[in-house]
Amino acid sequence: KAGVTQTPRYLIKTRGQQVTLSCSPISGHRSVSWYQQTPGQGLQFLFEYFSETQRNKGNFPGRFSGRQFSNSRSEMNVSTLELGDSALYLCASSRVTENTEAFFGQGTRLTVV
């Protein structure tokens, strides 16, 4: 059974640019969550999607957005990149029942220069 796949693994962007990250969940998983991980702030929840609908959102500015497709694959977009957006972006997928186990991908390392 394939795990959660995130692409690309590494990305370098310039301030002011925008970036799109992709996440393919485990087959059969319909919920996809996104997290930002930095040394200073730890793991912070960005948003969660189920059936192409955003159900939860963390405390991030509107520059951070996402979407989910009918095949459960998800993308997140960050516009007008800032240096502080440099982080490891993690995606997790799960089946949708009460408090089910979430499986993480290896993440996308974004560096903003």
Partner 1 sequence: GENVEQHPSTLSVQEGDSAVIKCTYSDSASNYFPWYKQELGKGPQLIIDIRSNVGEKKDQRIAVTLNKTAKHFSLHITETQPEDSAVYFCAAARGGYQKVTFGTGTKLQVIP
**Residues of the shown chain interacting with partner 1 in the complex, contacts defined by CB under 8 A:** 4, 31, 33, 35, 42-45, 48, 55-56, 58, 90, 92, 94, 96-99, 101-107
Which residue lies nearer to partner 1 by CB, 81 or 91? 91
Q: Is 51 left (phi over 0), alpha (psi -120 to 50) or beta?
A: left
**Would you say 76 and 64 are in contact if contact means Cβ atoms under 8 Å apart?**
yes
CB of 85 to partner 1, least distance (A): 19
The Cα–Cα gap between 91 and 98 comes to: 19
Q: How far is the CB of 92 from partner 1 (least distance, A)?
A: 7
